[in-house]
């Protein structure tokens, strides 16, 4: 089955520094990748959608200059949290799909990254 690898699983960084999270599709070409944020005991909030080779589309209220997304290949997307602050501490999850427009496909999720900014 489709597998998405997300790295690192945990990261602690100092306030003001930047952190990069990687999301890789291991056995399929991910035409579209998604980045979510999840607060404790809450559901997933979609941050942005990225298509390979295009600029990411950010959801309303998400700062595109703080959360930089790159989807340079069909198997890799990265999320960089720039100038991180304690309020950016959260659980970040990526998702990928190989669907190119048809309705009959699902989404595969990575294992998530716990970011703690101190």
77 makes contact with another protein (CB under 8 A): no
Closest to 91 in 3D by CA, of 107, 79, 82, 83: 79
- Residue 80: CB atoms within 10 Å: 14
Verify binding: residue 97, another protein, rule CB under 8 A: yes
Quote the least distance from Cβ 25 to another protein, whole Å.
14
Quote the least distance from Cβ 28 to another protein, whole Å.
14
- Which residues in this chain contact another protein in the complex, by CB under 8 A? 6, 32, 34, 41-44, 46, 49, 91, 93, 95, 97, 99, 101, 103-104, 106-112, 114
């Amino acid at each position: 089955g489709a597998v998405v690898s997300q790295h690192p699983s945990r990261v602690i960084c100092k306030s003001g520094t930047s952190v990069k999270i990687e999301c890789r599709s291991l056995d399929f070409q991910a035409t579209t990748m998604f980045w979510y944020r999840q607060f404790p005991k809450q559901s997933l909030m979609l941050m942005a959608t990225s298509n390979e080779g295009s600029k990411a589309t950010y959801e309303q209220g998400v700062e595109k200059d703080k959360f930089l997304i790159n989807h340079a290949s069909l198997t890799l997307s990265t999320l960089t949290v720039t100038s991180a602050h304690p309020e950016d501490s959260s659980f970040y999850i990526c998702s990928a799909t190989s669907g190119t427009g048809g309705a009959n496909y699902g989404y595969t999720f990575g294992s998530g990254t716990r970011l703690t900014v101190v």
